[in-house]
Amino acid sequence: MSASILTSLPPQWLSILGVFLLPILTLLLFRGKDDNKKKGLKLPPGPRQLPLIGNLHQLGSKPYVDFWKMAKKYGPVMHLQLGRCPTVILSSTETAKELMKDRDVECCSRPLSVGPGQLSYNFLDVAFCPYSDYWREMRKLFIFELLSMRRVQAFSYAREEQMDKMIEILDGAYPNPVNLTEKVFKITDGIIGTIALGRTTYAQQEFRDDFVKVIAAAMDMLNSFHAENFIPVVGRFIDSLTGVLAKRQRTFRDLDHYLEKAIEQHLDPNRPKPETEDIVDVLIGLMKDESASFKITKDHIKALLMNITLGGIDTSSVTITWAFSELLKNPKLMKKAQEEVRRAVGPNKRRVDVKEVEKIKYINCIVKETFRKHPPGPLLVPHFSMKQCKIGGYDILPGTSIYVNVWAMGKDPTIWDNPEEFNPDRFMNSEVDFRGSHFELVPFGAGRRICPGLAMATTAVNYILSNLLYGWDYEMPKGKKFEDFPLIEEGGLTVYNKQDIMVIPKKHKWDLIDFS
């Protein structure tokens, strides 16, 4: 899961500060501001700050772009003061490696942000929980009990069921256009929702529709500006005036309601025993295990389900639609991708199986290139320094939030030739991967804080994309050209293409391909 507590500063918030708070809090924020100079520390450079808000006024709706522009002036290790929060932005492969490998021990915690804290039942989860013995136990449970490769493979039934539904829709669409962006979100939501909450629960259309709305509201809430994170003493009061506090509480109540409902349905003694356990089944089994050394409650279960659903649905669907958008805009690249998939799988199959996807090297190249140019989360979930250390030759103080701008790293011309070009072939003879060993490509992070849902997310992405390329050829609606398809970044926590993909899918005729 990728997340940020950064967004544009609401105008009404600035008005409140100017009228009521600036005279009161300036002294609080800047008390002792010269202490670091006295200690002789070499702090990272950065832009000048305003009283109270620091550099918050310099961030727009796309902070990752703002950071990228600032880094051109101040360098790959840059300091900002975001209200009361000292913050460092890293924008290079070398500094990302220092953070997540060389300084991983000192910097693998998380800041205590109010939005994630509420949704995670006071940090009972894995993604937002600060570093501790508790977090290590929860991560171990998450990796080995919930999302191991063995269990991800066992969830193939969910992928196949949802893919069959999409195949029926696309097969029957011609000659009418379909909104592929919506269809991709629906299949991704169906796969991850079924894996997490169960086939029976997620087959209830009303539950599923409502839960999708709650997930969207939760993402919107996390992307809102929470003054309580940045302003001492009165931040919560500001959030109550702007409506953010009410939104936060309402979103939590709604999410809790549906997660509770899913758990209660699984606890029903009359519920038929499933052939394959879903995530809720596994967690309930652990909750009931009296011999377990690590006890979990319903709140632990809900916190982990929040991580899986919020972290998996949006980022996976966004990655697929970016990949398809780039291919759609370049018909030669689309043709090559389709031929590579069809050659690897063979003709006349209803769908591509997961095991067959593993044989398609070019799919991996497409996905890697998509992660490079369009990382679903442009800023990794912030790290938090527990001890003083050095990164890039600069002193990083304890209590500093550290963001890695992976979006900027993907545009670095010293690492990537022609970074603005979408070119999957750059990975054909490259060992660079996104699993945390190659720091030029870390969309899921690295080190102790690498995303534990990586296997589940990439399996879904590769599977859906392979099937989309295998079964159909695509035409543009009348009057539209492939080359004119716009690529417009929009969003906050995840960055999606503002332009929905409207295409006419036409079932592929296999006699047109030479498999010799």
Q: Which residues are annotated as part of the binding site?
A: 451
Q: What is the CA radius of gyration of the chain?
A: 24
Whether residue 188 contacts residue 310, with contact meaning beta carbons closer than 8 Å, is answered with no
Q: 98 to each of 110, 187, 401, 478, how far by Cα in Å?
A: 17, 38, 15, 51
Which H or E element spans position 473? Answer: strand 472-475
Residues 6+ apart with CB under 8 A from 387: 106, 398
Q: Provide the 8-state DSSP code for 54.
A: B
- Residue appearing with tokens 């939005």: 115
DSSP SS3 for 401:
strand
> Which residues of 123-237 form beta strands (DSSP E)?
178-179
Residue 42 gets which letter from DSSP? -
Cα 61 to Cα 216, 283, 364: the distances in Å are 18, 38, 31
List strands edge to edge, sheet with 383-384: 77-82, 85-90, 401-404, 383-384
Task: Classify residue 348 as left (phi > 0), alpha (psi -120 to 50) or beta.
Answer: left
- CB atoms near residue 31 (< 10 Å): 8
**Two tokens, residue 187:** 């299949």
- Provide the token pair at 54: 């620091």
d(CA 472, CA 337): 12
Give the residue numbers of the binding site for heme. 451
Do 219 and 199 contact (CB within 8 A), yes or no?
no
Tokens of 233: 């003493």
Q: Find, among 298, 384, 434, the residue nearest to 116 by Cα.
A: 384
